[in-house]
Amino acid sequence: MTLKRLSVVLLACLTLSACGGVDPNSPLGQRKAIFKQMLKTGEDLGGMLRGRIAFDGARFAEGAVKLDSLSHEPWKHFPAVKEEDHTSATDDVWRRQARFQELARTLEAATGELVTVSQVQPYKASNLGPAVQKVEDACSACHKEFRNH
């Protein structure tokens, strides 16, 4: 009987530990999903410019538009008070909200500029490269100030 009880307890513990993920409908889940899409899109754009992915001008321009659209989304999923869930955001997101919003607008402006330069043909790395770098720098600046890792 003891082995049977131990097995049931062990199974229950394993089942509960598998449920430790983030609720995809929570603010944290929503913004994580958006940030992942932004990362993938940005990596594709950078990959095209750095030769990891074959350059496709139309696909690059579409990616720039997608990244610009995504860049306006995650901020609305940061609640007024920090949630209890494990988050990579530091407490400064909530303590220094003006600075956080400033960096969000900087990213949005950079992705908007990327859309503009991605419409210029013929496509030139000399035009696209600095715009992609500006987006990457905007992401990095925010991560340095407001992300745990």
Whole-number pLDDT of residue 20: 54
* 103 vs 22: which has the higher pLDDT: 103
Rounded Cα gap, residues 12 and 74, in angstroms: 35
- Give the mean pLDDT of 78-107: 89
Rounded Cα gap, residues 82 and 91, in angstroms: 7
pLDDT grade, residue 85 (50/70/90)? low
Identify the helix (H) or strand (E) that includes residue 47.
helix 27-50
* pTM across the whole model: 0.82
| pLDDT tops 50 at residue 17 | no
3-class secondary-structure state, position 147: strand
